[in-house]
Amino acid sequence: MPHVPTIAALATAHGNGGIGIIRLSGPDSWAIAEQLTAGQPALVDHMANLRRICHPATGEALDQGIVLPMRGPRSYTGEDTVELQLHGSPLLLDSVLGVCLELGAQSARPGEFTFRALLAGKLSLLQAEAVRDLVNAGSDEELSLARKSLFTDTSQPFREVLSLITKSLASVEGPVDFPDQFTEEDEASALHGATSLAVEARAEIQKLLADAQATARLQHGVTVVIAGAPNVGKSSLMNALLKYPRVIVSDIPGTTRDSVSEDILLGRHRVTLVDTAGIGTAPADLLDGLAGERARQSLECADVVLVVLDAETGLQPHERDLLDHARRQPHLVAVNKIDAGPVPRGLEVEVGEQVLGISATEGIELDALTDRLTKLVETVAETVAAKQMVTHRQAAELMTSDRALVDFMNSAGAAPADVLAYYLGEAREAMQRLLGEHIAPDEILATVFNTFCIGK
Ligand SMILES: Nc1nc2c(ncn2[C@@H]2O[C@H](COP(=O)(O)OP(=O)(O)OP(=O)(O)O)[C@@H](O)[C@H]2O)c(=O)[nH]1
Ligand SMILES: [Mg+2]
């Protein structure tokens, strides 16, 4: 039996708090806890044991807290584990963790506790990914989808695809494995059946890829790009929406150069708000040109455009292109600086749609703007609501499978049966990897657990 090291890590977030938890897992975890509580009553399995934590060499009391020992397999990882619930001081926790390492534990790698749970069969690969997404959820919707993946079996749609591909492969392999039992007519009919199954599998894959797209939008948020001509008050509006002075504001046109992104929560949705350089006017120099280019790139990636005009100048000819661009997608038009003067008469007619007069610096009508923006973001997010969470890794495997199915369909009737079987085999393997079957632990570590936090 290979020696399994005992791992230790802080399981709670860094920083000061009421309590902080150090987690140990592996064959020596109990022995380490016993050394930390030497001279006190023996630890009782699956019970909260109030103990003083002392340095075993010097006897110095490091803290007092709850020691929660759990004999495997009745533990998260399936191994012997111990949780030390101590006072939430980063210095104190670091010192106790340091002693655990002195006593033979190794620092856990990101996600290593969950990885061990996976190896022990406590969790499926999809559930392990759900644990990560639950911890990282930034909105109610992400949270409820992550909960669904963790507490219910969301592998069914993937298994359905796998089953269709497997049936398709069986139809193609029959004539290869038992050539004398198949007439030419049988072979043609088997190939026809295999192709129909592949078409069905592809349709299911497309639905799951739509869920993957919706998941990505949920996790990275709807992108709202603030765009407009120089000096109209885009950065002032960004700061007002963020409620702190994140970006530089000045009366010099061309203050903002690079696009600056920040996350905010609008209603139930995580939103990436992007401030951009002014566009529309002819660039004054090379840097100005580059800044405009950046702003246009940001616009290309926008889910929603918030066009800002200036009440003092009214609609300028160079703002028309931007308005035309914005009209192609969900957008709002805000007319800023109404504290200095009203929205010019006839502006709405010139713009061709409803506009909202605001003042970024004086806070006028910003609540109304936020409400409208929230509704727009909700509409955008909900047009592609995910039925279930499909992670980036799962989407990559779905695409690999889909490509192999396309290769199969393009070759059906032209290539020999063993080549067709090879393509379907590739499609099947990708689905198996997605489900965590036939995938080496090293590959799982590299592709899934490197995105976990330490201590989980
Ligand atoms: N009166 C008034 N002035 C404003 C308002 N919003 C912004 N300003 C002023 O307009 C000037 C430009 O503001 P910015 O927020 O830097 O404008 P910007 O659109 O980001 O400008 P660039 O980054 O140069 O494209 C500054 O002097 C701001 O104080 C407002 O609501 N009312
Ligand atoms: Mg700016």
Q: What CATH number is associated with residue 160?
A: 1.20.120
Q: Which amino acid is at 361?
A: T
User: From the centroid of its chain, how far is CA 216?
Assistant: 6
Which atom, in ligand 1's list, is nearest to the CA of 252? 24
Range of the domain at 253: 231-379
Pocket probe for ligand 1: among 225, 226, 231, 257, the residue whose CB has the most ligand atoms within 8 Å is 231
Using the 3D structure, point to which of 334, 353, 379 is the last residue of a domain.
Answer: 379
CA of 304 to the centre of ligand 1 (A): 21
- 283: three-class secondary structure by DSSP: coil
What is d(CA 24, CA 6) in angstroms, rounded to the nearest whole number?
Answer: 7
Buried b (16+ CB within 10 A) or exposed e, 313-340: ebbeeebeebbebbeeebbbbbbbbbee
Instruction: Tell whether pTM > 0.75.
Output: no
Count of helices and strands (H, E) across the chain: 15, 12
Backbone phi, psi, residue 136, to 5°:
-90, 0
Using the mean position of ligand 1's atoms as its centre, give its distance from the Cα of residue 278 in Å.
11
Residue 356 is predicted with a pLDDT of: 97
What is the model's pLDDT at position 267?
87
Which one-letter amino acid corresponds to residue 73? P
181 and 257 fall within a common domain: no
Q: Among the atoms of ligand 1, which is closest to the Cα of residue 232?
A: 19
pLDDT score of 1: 56
Q: Nearest 5°: CA angle at 248, between 328 and 374?
A: 40
Q: How far is the CA of 324 from the centre of ligand 1 (A)?
A: 23
Rounded to whole angstroms, the Cα distance separating 131 from 154 reads 13
Q: How far is the CA of 381 from the centre of ligand 1 (A)?
A: 30
Instruction: Indicate if 397 and 374 belong to the same structural domain.
Output: no
Where the chain has pLDDT below 50, the residues are none
In a domain, 260, yes or no: yes
Residues, the chain, total?
Answer: 456
Q: Name which of 61, 44, 50 is nearest 99 in CA terms.
A: 61
CB 98 within 8 A of CB 84: no
Other Cβ atoms less than 10 A from the Cβ of 145: the count is: 27
CA 372–ligand 1 middle distance (angstroms): 22
Ligand 1 atom at minimum distance from 364 CA: 31
In the chain, the largest separation of any two C-alpha atoms, in whole Å, equals 89
Residues with CB under 6 A from ligand 1: 228, 230-236, 249-251, 253-256, 277-278, 336-337, 339-340, 359-362
Question: Which atom belonging to ligand 1 lies closest to the Cα atom of 358?
Answer: 31
- The last residue of one of the domains, among 314, 345, 379, is 379
Which residues is 265 bridged to in the sheet? 270
Atom of ligand 1 nearest to the CA of 230: 25
CATH code for the domain in which residue 282 is found: 3.40.50.300
Co-location of 277 and 343 in the same domain: yes
- Measured CA to CA, the distance from residue 379 to residue 376 in angstroms comes to 5
Q: Is residue 130 part of a domain?
A: no
Q: Which residues pair with 225 in a beta bridge?
A: 274, 305
Q: ∠ CA 36-38-43 to the nearest 5 degrees?
A: 85
The pLDDT value given to residue 206: 94
List the alpha helices (DSSP H) in 152-233. 156-177, 184-220
Q: How far is the CA of 231 from the centre of ligand 1 (A)?
A: 5
SS3 state at 186? helix
- The answer to whether position 449 is within a domain reads no
